[in-house]
Structure 1
């Protein structure tokens, strides 16, 4: 069973699940079978994945990729394999070939995580509205 965790756009910071990170929500709660991973461990892994993602920075923008809104989806399956869908600020980003590896390496250090797969997606396209207030402050827009 996949546990589907999605990043919400900054204008919808509500959460569906009880996690320590306000802009992460579990999708399909109540409609999907329960995860085989105990809830406390799933919460810890989720929080640790978010913390790991916050160590990866776009080299051209002084903010981490999570706060920039570049992470679209995080799936954690019952075997603790993690699938991440992410985007870039622009399809022609000079680090397009490297950033997925940076994300894979960062998330791969999380205790309990097995395999990490990162997929670049460009639909929907990234816009500055996806940035958190923290990222907007970091780039001087807030």
Structure 2
């Protein structure tokens, strides 16, 4: 499998993206696909405590980087900087991703750009929240 020199990026739609600079990955294509699928499934188990939808479908996960050493970096946001779950949600995300067999160290970073808006939600989240 070819990949970027720095990291594999598992996008919110689980596509693996790479830059123009290609190298051989330490992870097989099957293992990368399995980890990507299982990481997304783990993210879908984490719910915002005030909203009855998971953080993945809400569009709070901006990026997941799966690196050759199996470490994972997650960039996520919150619905608002004053979110009451601001302290616990990143730790919950870290624990969920770390529970995936084969995943190494997990780092979760909160980002504020781009600002989250309801436009980032999937149709599934809109349906759960009666936003049709």
TM-score, normalization: structure 2? 0.91
- Equivalent position SS for 1:111: coil
Q: Say if 2:74 is the partner of 1:84.
A: yes
Give the aligned partner of residue 20 of structure 1: none
CA contact (8 A) 2:52 2:129 kept: yes
Gaps of 5+ in 2: 1-5
May I ask how many residue pairs the two structures share in their alignment? 127
Q: Say if 2:62 is the partner of 1:65.
A: no
Deviations 1:94-125 (A, max 9, x none): 01011000000111100000100000000000
Q: CA RMSD in A?
A: 1.2
- Equivalent position SS for 1:83: strand
1:26 CA drift (Å): 2.0
1:30 CA drift (Å): 5.0
Structure 2: distance between partners of 1:120 and 1:137:
26
TM-score, normalization: structure 1? 0.85
Structure 1: distance between partners of 2:44 and 2:106:
16
Give the aligned partner of residue 17 of structure 2: 27
- Equivalent position SS for 1:24: coil
Structure 2: distance between partners of 1:94 and 1:74:
23
1:65 CA drift (Å): 0.3
- Equivalent position SS for 1:101: helix
Give the aligned partner of residue 7 of structure 2: 2
- Equivalent position SS for 1:97: coil
Structure 2: distance between partners of 1:31 and 1:64:
35
Aligned counterpart for 1:51 among listed residues 38, 41, 44: 41
CA contact (8 A) 1:2 1:35 kept: no
Aligned counterpart for 1:135 among listed residues 106, 125, 129: 125
